Amino acid sequence: MGRLDDKAAVITGGASGMGAATVRRFVAEGAQVVICDLNEDAGAALADSLGDAAVFVKTDVTKEDDVAAAIAVAHDRWGRLDCMFNNAGFGGALGPIDETTEDDFDITFDVLLKGVFFGIKHAAPIMKAQRSGSIISTASVAGLQAGWSPHLYATAKAAVIQLTRSTALELGEYRVRVNCICPGVIATPLAIGRDQSDEAIAAFKASTASLQPIGRVGEPEDIANAALWLASDESTFVTGQAQVVDGGVNAGRPWSRVADWIKEPNPIRVYRPPGR
């Protein structure tokens, strides 16, 4: 028996990367999924490969009507909505703060924050009526620590985390759970860049492996596994949480990169609190 048998889900940004991995994992576990993305070719191809369990709906998450329509497809087609995964995203505005334009600001927040807001807003009435459901959004370790991303990306992801906590408090009384996932460095097309050759992917993984204490870069399937747990009945007592999936990045630097004087067992260098 699948962990998501008889459940219906909507996944934005579902045509590639973490979204596509989650679509495949959800279907493998018994769910029916609406795949939302602007990439029609990739989204339709993925849906076709999954048969009757998936349908593709072209969706611009910056447009409220698009998000509402995608959610309506799931509800009309399967009679329910058990999981809303607000996953669509991009890198957003780059560069110094004094070179960031108003248009840069608007498009970054439209995709990364407004799109999440629309997903929560339009999933909520269906799930409240069911008195069940799981809303998941993709945040980032960049929303927890500065210095890992461009300014606006980090700020938008921090806002996603706070929106998650705030709406979890409202929807909890309806048994609707709201959580977010904070990925670290994940080997996705967004992170790797334009060159998607095997050589470029291998080089990216090799160059970023040492950033994580666990010693490898994250894979889209790592995020899919976290989303699966949050969507399943195994996490029905979990809400308002920012689930970090980052190989240990948020905990700190790998021990091998810590200064030698910290690691050496020299009694002279042991810290003693005042008065001890």
Q: How do residues 227-243 score in pLDDT, each as one tens digit? A: 999 999 999 999 999 99
Task: Report the range of poorest mean pLDDT among 2-6, 59-63, 197-201, 206-210.
Answer: 197-201
Token digits for 25?
């994992």
Token digits for 171?
């929807």
Residue type, 215: G
28-35 mean pLDDT: 98
Report the C-alpha gap between 165 and 180 in whole angstroms: 9
Share of the chain above pLDDT 70, in %: 89
Where do we find the tokens 């050496």?
A: 264
DSSP H helix total and E strand total for the chain: 10, 7
Token digits for 92?
């957003």
Q: What fold characterizes domain 8-269?
A: Rossmann fold (3.40.50)
Report the C-alpha gap between 202 and 162 in whole angstroms: 35
149 to 10, 83, 195: CA distances (angstroms): 27, 28, 20
Contacts of 228 by beta carbon, 8 Å cutoff, 6+ apart: 3, 4, 22, 25, 26, 29
Which of 224, 121, 243 minimizes the C-alpha distance to 176? 121
Helix (H) or strand (E) holding 118: helix 115-130
78-94 mean pLDDT: 96
What are the respective helix, strand and coil percentages of the chain, to the nearest 5?
55, 15, 35
Angle of helix 115-130 relative to helix 64-78, nearest 10 degrees? 30
Burial class (CB in 10 A: 0-12, 13-18, 19+), 157: buried
Burial letters for 250-263: b for 16+ Cβ neighbours within 10 Å, e otherwise? eeeebeeeeeeeee
For residue 191, is pLDDT > 70?
no
Task: Report the range of poorest mean pLDDT among 126-135, 158-167, 183-192.
Answer: 183-192
Residue ranges with strand state E in the chain: 8-12, 32-37, 54-58, 83-86, 133-138, 176-183, 242-245
Report the C-alpha gap between 172 and 156 in whole angstroms: 24
3-state DSSP call for residue 149? Answer: coil
For residue 211, is pLDDT > 70?
yes
Where do we find the tokens 């799930």?
A: 127
Helices (H), 5-53: 17-28, 40-50
User: What residues are labeled active site?
Assistant: 140, 153, 157
Task: Report the range of poorest mean pLDDT among 16-30, 42-56, 137-151, 206-220.
Answer: 206-220
pLDDT score recorded for residue 207? 72
Tell which wins on pLDDT, 173 or 205: 173
Q: What is the mean pLDDT of the chain?
A: 91
Tell which wins on pLDDT, 272 or 163: 163
Task: Starting at the earlier edge strand, list the strands of the sheet with 32-37.
Answer: 54-58, 32-37, 8-12, 83-86, 133-138, 176-183, 242-245
Tell which wins on pLDDT, 226 or 149: 226
pLDDT score recorded for residue 257? 74
3-state DSSP call for residue 115? Answer: helix
pLDDT score recorded for residue 208? 75
